[in-house]
Structures are given as C-alpha cells and as structure tokens.
Amino acid sequence: MRRLENNQDSGRLQMAMLLSIVVYFVYMSFLETPQSIPPTVELPRAENQDILSNSNSVHNEIQIPVETERVISNIPFHSADFSTDSVTVKTTSSAGAIGDAYLSDFTNPPKISTWWGWLFDREGRWNPYSEGEDTLRILTEEASFLAVGVGEFRSYPGNVEIKVREEKEQIFVKQKISGISVNKTVSKTENPYIFDVELKLVNTTQQKISDIWIGNFDNMVGTSSRFLEEIRPQLYIDSGLETFTEHEDLNSDPETIEMKPDWFGLGSRYFLAATEITDQSVVEKTIVTSMDDASKYGTAVILAPLSAGDTRSISMKAYIGPKSIENLQTLSENWTYAIDYGIFGFFSRVLLFLLKIFFHGFQNWGVAILLLTFTIKLIFYPLTQKAFVSGRKMQLLQPQLSEIKEKYKDNQQLQAQETMKLFQKHGTSPLGGCLPTMIQIPVWFALYNVMLYSVELYDSSFLYLKDLTSVDPYGFLPVLYTLLMVFQMRMTPMSSAGGSDNEMQQQMQQMMKIMPFLFGVFMFTFPSGLVLYFSLNIFLTAVQQWIIRLQFAEIELATSTVE
C-alpha cells in the first residue's frame, strides 16, 4: 500500500536535525570540560427569504412554515450560511455540501517577507510583515464537505434543496442522486466547532445500489510546504495519522484502503475539517482520491450496498476548527491524534500543559517558551552534570587507555579486564557520558513537536516577532543561535591523543567547527518560536558547562595526579 505518512519532507528534516543534535550532544558529553449550556447564536439571514417553488420539483411534497424556515430551491446556483459562535459554513447547491468555512475566533497571520528572499526578488520596498486577510478560511468556496455520491467521485448539482431551520438551529439539504434520495440534517452542538449530522438514504429504484460514498474534498493548491501549511487529505486509520501531501499521487491512482477510518477529512498544520461515522458497520472501505476531474482532492468512505426500496439512517459527527486537544477530546481520544506529536506524544502533552501554565501567568507565548525551556534545563541539570563530568573523566583517562591498549594489544581479554579496572577506579564508563543524554532525547523530540504543531502558538507575537509560527524575517534569531553555538564550542577544549585516535579527533574537530554554521542555516527556515527555544537552550547549556567547570575542577586535578 502506497501511503504518504505525516508529511514526509518535514519528517525527514526533523529526523536529520534531531539526530544531528543527538550526535552533537553525545560528542560534547565526551569532550566537555565539566559543565455546558449551549450558546445562543443568531443565525445570519439568507439573501432570498422567499420560498421559491417549481411544479416539477420534489419541494412541493414538503410543507414547511414560512416563518421558521428559509428555503432556497432548485435554481442554477444557491447557497445558505449557517453559523455558530466560532464557525460560519456555507452550504451550496453545487454539490449539496458545505462549500465554504470560516473561523471567527482566528485571523490569518501576517504575510512574511524575509530580507534574503527580498534580495532575490527586489519587488518594491522590503516589508517584513504585511497584513493578510482578517478572516481565516479553512475550506474554500470550491470545497465539497459532507458530500454524498454514487459511483464516480463528482459533484451532483441538480435537484438540490437547502433549508435553514432557525428555531431548531439546523440546516437541511435534500437532493436526489442516481436513484438515491438523500436527506441531510446538520445541527449545532454545545461545542461551536462540532456538528451533529444525520443522513437518510432511500433507494428509490428496483435494484440494489452499490458504491455509495460520503466524502470531504477541497482544492489542493500548489505543492505541500515542509510544515503542512496547506489543507491536505487527512485521516486517522489503523491507529495512525495519514496525510496525503502531493496531488500527483492521487490523480491517476487513487489510494484504496481496505479499512474503516476513525475519522476522515482535510487537515493542515493547525486546522481540521473532518467527519466521523458513528456506526462503522455501514462502512466498507476508505478512498483517498480526486474529485471532479482532479480539481479537488480528499477522503471518502464507501458504504455497504443499499437494497431496492431500503432506507438507511447514518449518524455522523463533523468537526471544523483548530487542532486543539481540548476541543478534539470532546469527540474522542482518537481525534486528538490529528495533532502530529509523533511517537513521543505523551511527553508533548505534558510539555504543552506546562507551556499553558506559563502563558496564563504572563499572557505571552514567547515568555512561556523561555520559561518552559529554563524549567526543562533545570529539571535535567543533574543528568547534564553527570554526562559532562563522565565525559570529562573519559577524556582525561585517554592516555592511560591508550597505554593499556598498546600494552595488551595481543591479549584482548586482559585488555578488557584492565580497562574495566581503570573505569571502576575512577568511577566512570563509556556509557556514563551518553546515557544521560539519551534519556533526554524523547523530551527533545516532544518539545520540538510542541513548538511546531501546537495551535496555541498560532499567530502569537513576541518582541519584534509578530508570528512565532513563521520564520524570523530579520534573521536575528538564527544569527544569535549560530553565535551562541560557536561560543559554546570554544568553551570546550579538545584533548590530544596519539596515533590514529589523534587523527580521528582532528577530523571531529573540523566537523564540530562547521556544525554551528550548518545548524544556523537550518534555523533560517525554522519557525521563530522554535529558534527561540533552541537559542535559549544552547545558552543555558553553555551556562551549565561553566557552572560544572567551577564545581568539579578538582576532578581534573585528582585524575591528572594518578600514574
């Protein structure tokens, strides 16, 4: 099965970056000098308040009081808005589905223009931050969310009737598709991002109808960015989050998954529009494909066949909103995995909890990031201390280890015994420097993902930075990070040894000299909130090295006197 999991480009870069950090810290450890009531919602009025009738339409079969419902009938194109306190959706006749969705609680972040990008374009005057649109749109006007069809994945614009039931806070859609009568009711819930959906399918023919589908589709504009800024087909299936990033992979070869999804829809880095079918027994399989001749892409489920004359009622939950744990948990725990925290998600949630505590105290996410970084370094200080001290001991013992290696080069067993005696005498081991560092790796991964995927940081500002989820357009933080890393490297004296060991160490020294600048280049492309964390982290690491050097200077003195 060919799947694109969790934005591969971002995953590769994240893995390469973090593995490089691990190599760096492990190497440093050997070389360091010691150191409940539903909201009342006013629904917008439709532009056309009249009940339009058609003698050939099924609309005349339904008698609805004019004062409680707005009916928009079968005309070439019509639509109706439906709003909660936080979401406005528009149902259109083009597919009998939701074709637009806005979030009133969020605005678009400012558009970023970096000075290095401007140097290549030179279009007008450089403006690092320019205001974007005020309203945040999750689904475009071309979307087909909660669409229903039979067979081919396309829109069904004919025979569509839309009604807004103001008293019941519902929107009702009725259409007829390839012998199937579809009645769809979307209702508000106490949570402004969650909707109850009731679907009634009636087979009006004398034959069994197969390949009935329910799907969520939208435009996939351009290629996917590294951090999944654009909306893409996304679903949770087989205990894993699946994201399909490139439309070329779905044009000629739709992805068929012979399993039932927990939920399916469209997602980006911070936002989600998805559906959950309550009764999974009506679902046969999952399809990730294009719609309307590859103009739209999305996810769909294929339902079990419907026999002649039969009726099927399907209950669903729809979510249109931010990827926040609090809101998604209202549906189920599986919905929270829409936030791509990875295999160390437990640690990410703990760190996010701490981050929120700091935010509530200071009302600024930048300050919260600084305090969280300081707290983590403080918690892990004993492990860091142990790693640095053990690494320094190993460094000071290198001459004696070389002597043992040379003296017992013809007897490997005796060489190992003498080496262990030396380690025991000085209370160290080869793992003493890297093991404490390895223990911290899950926290590094977790904190990285918190900074990258938590919607709480969306459109947040700090000092001159207007958006911590975007790059620093001035480049100050990446430069600061590079300088701090160079400073830390210079605090680390290199030991000298003879022979091939010395030659290898010289190569390592050259690599370590290049590493700050290599990492600095990465930081120019990372979200500024993440670079803020990395910068403070490396500064605190240098401070810890200095403190450990003062506290444990006697270790070098004691070890150097041993013959």
Q: Are residues 181 and 256 in the same domain?
A: yes
Beta bridge partners of residue 233, listed in sequence order? 266
pLDDT of 166 higher than 80: no
Tally the residues of the chain: 563
Say which residues have a Cβ less than 8 Å from residue 92's Cβ, sequence separation at least 6: 77, 78, 79, 98, 99, 100
Q: Has residue 30 been placed in a domain?
A: no
pLDDT band at 80 (very low <50, low <70, confident <90, very high): confident
Mean pLDDT score across all residues of the chain: 76
CB atoms within 10 A of CB 554: 9
Strands in 296-340 per DSSP E: 296-303, 311-322
For residue 457, the Cα-to-chain-centroid distance in whole angstroms is 12
| Calpha distance 201→248 (Å, rounded) | 33
We report the CATH number of the domain holding residue 242 as 2.70.98.90
Assigned domain for 122 exists: no
CA-based angle 250:254:257, to the nearest 5? 125
The tokens for 235 are 């679903």
Domain end (from 304, 324, 339): 339
What burial class does residue 42 get, using C-beta atoms within 10 Å of its C-beta: 0-12 exposed, 13-18 middle, 19+ buried? exposed
- Residue 32 domain-assigned (yes or no): no
Q: Residue 49: pLDDT above 60?
A: no
CA 104 – CA 429 distance, rounded (Å): 58
Quick one: tokens of 435? 């093991």
Number of domains in the chain: 2
Domain-ending residue, one of 311, 339, 367: 339
Phi and psi at residue 369, in whole multiples of 5°?
A: -65, -45
> Do 99 and 143 touch, CB atoms closer than 8 A?
yes
d(CA 553, CA 488): 18
Q: Are 340 and 472 in contact (CB under 8 A)?
A: no
- What is the arithmetic mean of pLDDT over 34-44? 36
Check if the beta carbon of residue 307 is closer than 8 Å to that of residue 208: yes
The pLDDT score that the predictor gives to residue 171 is 86
Domain boundary among 339, 369, 393: 339
Task: Answer yes or no: do 290 and 401 share one domain.
Answer: no
Phi and psi dihedrals of 318, rounded to 5? -120, 140
Distance CA 88, CA 82 (A): 6
Residues 6+ apart with CB under 8 A from 556: 33, 34, 392, 396
Would you say residue 316 lies in a domain? yes
Q: Per residue in 358-378, pLDDT tens?
A: 999 999 999 999 999 999 888
Summarize pLDDT for 290-328 with one digit per residue, the tens.
Answer: 877 677 888 999 999 999 999 999 999 999 999 999 999
201 CB-near residues (< 8 Å, 6+ apart): 148, 180, 181, 182, 212, 303, 306, 311, 312, 313, 314
Q: What is the pLDDT of residues 51-65, one digit of tens each?
A: 333 333 333 333 333
Mean pLDDT over 55-83 rounds to 45
Helices (H), 456-498: 476-490
Question: Which of 132, 334, 112, 128 is closest to 227 using CA atoms?
Answer: 112
Could you tell me which residue, 508 or 26, shows the higher pLDDT?
508
What CA–CA distances, in Å, run from 184 to 193, 285, 379? Answer: 18, 22, 54
Q: How far is residue 467 from each of residues 164, 457, 541, measured CA to CA in Å?
A: 38, 8, 26
429/383 same-domain check? yes
What is the domain extent for residue 174? 58-113+129-339
Residues 192 and 108 in one domain: yes
Residue 49 falls inside a structural domain: no
Residues 507 and 463 in one domain: yes
Using DSSP, state whether 70 is helix, strand or coil.
Answer: strand
Same structural domain, 283 and 397: no
C-alpha–C-alpha distance, residues 323 and 400, integer Å: 56
The answer on 241 and 361 residing in a single domain is: no
The closest alpha carbon to 556, from 480, 495, 507, belongs to: 495
Rounded average pLDDT over 200-225: 85
Domain match, 415 and 524 both? yes
Is the pLDDT at 180 greater than 80? The verdict is yes
Among residues 218, 151, 209, 140, which one has the least CA distance to residue 180? 209
| Cα angle for residues 240, 343, 471 (degrees, 5° grid) | 100
154 and 214 in a single domain? The answer is yes
Helix axes 381-396, 528-551, angle to 10 degrees: 60
* Residues 472, 326 share a domain: no
For residues 385 and 32, is the Cβ–Cβ distance under 8 A? Answer: no
Has residue 191 been placed in a domain?
Answer: yes
Q: Are 320 and 195 in a shared domain?
A: yes
Residue carrying the six token digits 């197969």: 210
Q: Per the structure block, which two tokens stand in for 543?
A: 């401070």
Structural domain includes residue 426: yes
Q: Stretch 162-186: mean pLDDT, rounded?
A: 82
The whole-model pTM stands at 0.76
- Residue 17 domain flag: no
331 and 418 housed in the same domain = no
Cα Rg of the chain, angstroms:
30
CB atoms within 10 A of CB 103: 19
Confidence check: pLDDT of 416 > 90:
no
